Amino acid sequence: MSDWLGRAVSRAEQVSDWLSPQRQASLALLREAQWPTRKTEAWKYTPVHVLADAEFAAAANSELAAAEAIEGLNSIELVFTDGVLQSELSQLPEGLTIVPLADASSETRQWAAEAFSAAKPSKHLFGLVNDVLATAGVIIDVAEGVSIEPVIRIVHRIGKDCEAHNRVLVRIAKNASVTVVEDFSGEEKSFNTGYAEYTLAESASLEHYRFALQTGAALSVGGSHFNLADKAQLNSTLVGFGSELSRLDVDVNHTGEHAFAKLNAIYLLDGNELFDLHSTIEHMVPNGTTEENVRGIVADHSRAVFNGRIHIHRDAQKTLAELNNRNLLMSRDAEINTKPELEIYADDVRCAHGATIAEIDKGALYYLRSRGVSKAQAQIMLSFGFINELVDQMPNQVLAEWLRPQLRQRFANMEVK
């Protein structure tokens, strides 16, 4: 156990609220937990020593610039600064309930306590940390048959030298639909764990975005986890920029038949950044479908880690699952480690995965240069095109428009070698 984890455990022992019974189980696991080393499979390529003896201030309510609204986006903004909810919650559309974790009514507490750690597996070390320390967060409930028009945007800002733990619990009832954006940014030295759990009832539909855009010295570990009931639909887009330590775990559990999950992920890394994405798709019942597309561009001295696991349980017949991971390696000093895994215990399934790593196609580069495009410009065009295919697939075009200039900026900054 590291110094930091030791302190986290002793702080957790002081936490007392209505979730305490749920937190106890995680605390017990955490006390037994081993600090990840290179031999820990889930952390093989991602060192966490920067965190081992780091010290941060607890939620300090630091003075941070207000989060910018996204132009043209019809949204309900939930802004957390150092883990504390700053937004007023008023005039919510009918059928939508949003309450801060601490203010949950007894009725909400009942289902939320059950949903707590139901979608997120206990294997995630920092998920356990979040279990025991996240006193801040929000509970979102969408009533049966309701379609929520505005996008719920949860913005996380963490101040310099601060540590924050945030938990989001979302329940989407039968035939309901909603769009949720989890937005993380900032580059100051800080540490946060942000975990979100989504429970989709029968025929519920979720459009999900996670923008893990923290860079620089920000240390960030988090996850988005989904339980899909019969015929539930998930369309998720993840975008990662990478920082000194940036790790994202995504778990999709097909607990009901005929559920559909589409997962698109993009990572763009530069400088000394590290981004680690672990995704696990659990097909527990028959007739599920998963499409996962992950693309990355890795430049300068940065490192990308991708581990995509598809697990077809015994009897999960007629499952269709596909995973594709494509990477562009832009520099001699950058590094990509990818591991697409299949674990299959049912015979009547169609499963495939693929992974590629290469540089920008020389032929394409030559074609553009022969038409007078500078090398730098040509590289931006080609790498942007590589990523843009997935950006185009984002169902919300306002968000896509907001994202594109940020991506373009990032390509422009990437050092061309």
Site for another protein, rule CB under 8 A: 41, 314-315, 317, 327, 329-332, 334-359
CB of 415 to another protein, least distance (A): 13
For 10-14, which contacts have Cβ atoms below 8 Å and span 24 or more sequence positions?
11/58, 11/133, 12/132, 12/133
CB of 300 to another protein, least distance (A): 11
Rounded to whole angstroms, the Cα distance separating 240 from 265 reads 8
Nearest CB to another protein, comparing residues 98 and 310: 310
Rounded to whole angstroms, the Cα distance separating 367 from 371 reads 7
Nearest CB to another protein, comparing residues 114 and 359: 359
Nearest CB to another protein, comparing residues 5 and 323: 323
Rounded to whole angstroms, the Cα distance separating 173 from 216 reads 39
Q: What is the 3-state secondary structure (H, E, C) of the chain?
A: CCHHHHHHHHHHCCCCCCCHHHHHHHHHHHHHCCCCCCCCHHHCCCCCHHHHCCCCECCCCCCCCCCCCCCCCCEEEEEEECCEECCCCCCCCCCEEEEEHHHCCHHHHHHHHHHCCCCCCCCCHHHHHHHHHCCEEEEEEECCCCECCCEEEEEEECCCCEEEEEEEEEEECCCCEEEEEEEEEECCCEEEEEEEEEEECCCCEEEEEEEEEECCCEEEEEEEEEEECCCCEEEEEEEECCECEEEEEEEEEECCCCCEEEEEEEEEECCCCEEEEEEEEEECCCCCEEEEEEEEEECCCCEEEEEEEEEECCCCCCCEEEEEEEEEECCCCCEEEEEEEEEECCCCCEEEEEEEEECCCHHHHHHHHHCCCCHHHHHHHHHHHHHHHHHHCCCCHHHHHHHHHHHHHHHHHCCCC
Nearest CB to another protein, comparing residues 93 and 354: 354
Nearest CB to another protein, comparing residues 232 and 312: 312
Nearest CB to another protein, comparing residues 112 and 387: 387
Nearest CB to another protein, comparing residues 114 and 348: 348
CB of 26 to another protein, least distance (A): 25
Nearest CB to another protein, comparing residues 222 and 340: 340
CB of 335 to another protein, least distance (A): 5
CB of 323 to another protein, least distance (A): 9
CB of 123 to another protein, least distance (A): 15
CB of 42 to another protein, least distance (A): 12
Which residues, listed in sequence order, are joined to residue 264 by a DSSP beta bridge?
Answer: 237, 293
CB of 257 to another protein, least distance (A): 17
Nearest CB to another protein, comparing residues 26 and 338: 338
321 vs 233, 330, 357, CA distance in Å?
15, 30, 21
CB of 45 to another protein, least distance (A): 8
CB of 351 to another protein, least distance (A): 4
Nearest CB to another protein, comparing residues 214 and 338: 338
Which residues, listed in sequence order, are joined to residue 322 by a DSSP beta bridge?
Answer: 291, 352
CB of 405 to another protein, least distance (A): 26
Nearest CB to another protein, comparing residues 287 and 317: 317
265 vs 75, 106, 164, 218, 375, CA distance in Å?
23, 37, 25, 21, 27
